[in-house]
Amino acid sequence: RRYGVPFFYGTIYEGGLCEMNAISVNTGSDQQAIPLLEWSFKNLGKKVFYIGADYIAPRNIGIWTRYLAKQNGGEVVGEDYYPLDVTDFSTAIAKIQAAKPDYVHSCLVGGPHMSFYRQWAAAGMLHKIPIVSVVFGGGNEHMALTPEETDGIIVAYNYFEELDTPENKVFLAKVDAVAGKDRPYVNGIAFGGYSGPMIWADEAKDAGSFE
């Protein structure tokens, strides 16, 4: 705002900013939460437990969870938030077990919070109560954790590397040519990081100037 320059935001955006120079090139959280939770209330059950990191985006997605529960005849049977440095989720797991939800909606993020999924599986819960998420995998949690700790977690993203389309194969071949075959997994957040500079480049070409 101070310098009047465009700001391209490449990751999932929680919404709420009124700023003409800010351009969100990825999904709004509602664009992932709505299809994920509508599917979940239809296919997994009406009772959801929401667990998230304690900052603005997960709290806004918590609002969407409560709203969509009402819209789909569901119920939020628990809602819990944890600081980003928490690694012990034994209390959280006990709360979820006591609430007996049909599924868990997780908005836990970051390295320490990966402990939840590991502890959830160790408690024998992975195949008892399903987990859905709009953020799991955004930090490549599915690459850091084992299949035994994550198999069955359901996510909604605007992009998956596994998309089997001719266009995606061409895109990934270009990525490999630049980044090498040993590059990290390309997820929805990485795709937003790609889209922002590309959109900016198109605008610079149209304007005929970097200014």
* 141-198 confidence digits (pLDDT tens): 988 999 999 999 999 988 899 999 999 999 999 999 999 989 988 988 888 888 899 9
Q: What is the pLDDT of residues 78-115, one digit of tens each?
A: 999 999 999 999 999 999 999 999 999 999 999 999 99
Structural contact between residues 74 and 68, judged by C-beta atoms closer than 8 angstroms? yes
Q: Give CB contacts under 8 A, 24+ apart, made by 33-39.
A: 33/61, 33/64, 33/65, 33/68, 33/134, 33/156, 34/64, 34/68, 35/156, 36/132, 36/133, 36/134, 36/154, 36/155, 36/156, 37/64, 37/65, 37/68, 37/69, 37/72, 37/105, 37/132, 38/68, 38/72
